[in-house]
Amino acid sequence: MENENKKTNEMPRLRLKLAYVGTQFCGWQIQPGKRTVQGVLKEQIEKVCGVPISIHGAGRTDAGVHAKGQMAHCDIPTSRAKIPWQRALNSLLPPDISILEATIVDDNFHARKDATAKIYSYTLWIEPSYILPQRRPFCWKVGRLDLDIMKKALSLFEGTHDFAAFQNTGTPLKNTTRTIFRAFMTPGSSPQEKIVYFCGDGFLKQMVRNLVGTLVWIGKGKLDIGEIEGLMKKRQRSLLPPTAPPQGLCLEDVLY
């Protein structure tokens, strides 16, 4: 496993802000034989640098999950520090990844460890009779919902809580307490869409998708809002509704 703390001498640190459509990726993290965002990005940076590099992201988005503000960093040769990185990479990358910003930063910057908050959105399609084909890769068709009760439920997730019940298996952690600073719902780009936002200091594996799955059950009357506090205290994932599908989820921004 790569040592994320190791800083190669005399190699400037490059910070990247990128957006991607996650539909054709098997997530962010490099996996042998699979197309991943980290893998594609690493390949193109190495073409420009001419040497192997290690790239570290702020978060590991799952297969099918999108991003508008993923952050990453890597160390590059000094001879490559002054090239126009944004333009260079955008000319090489496939159309489902774009570099929004590329900046040389302090050697101590770390895309994941220095993050103070992340913002995720999840888009719901509430029209029961159809879904626009153009929107299908970016939202979850759920049908009619009680939006008022869902907004009340969102307020229950704000603050500092043990979110163990909303963590899927795969990354064992001793501390499952996280703080959600804000959780709210807004209209989407059309009357058929509603967008749920979560801003927090960190998120467990598939936590946002599990929160959304729970919200949808509440909105459909399958789960009473009064049960949420008790279910959270029991810390058992099996007691909560199924995980929402990945395509509605988007990493909006990483704050430092």
The residues carrying an active-site annotation are: 62
Residue in this structure with the two tokens 């192997």, named with its chain if needed: 52
Q: How far is CA 52 from CA 77, 115, 157, 169, 241, in A?
A: 10, 26, 43, 32, 43
Q: Give the dihedral sign, CA 217/220/221/224.
A: positive
Whether 86 contacts 102, CB under 8 Å: yes
Query: Do you know the residue count of the chain?
Result: 256
DSSP letter at 133 equals T
How many angstroms separate the CA atoms of 72 and 88, rounded? 16
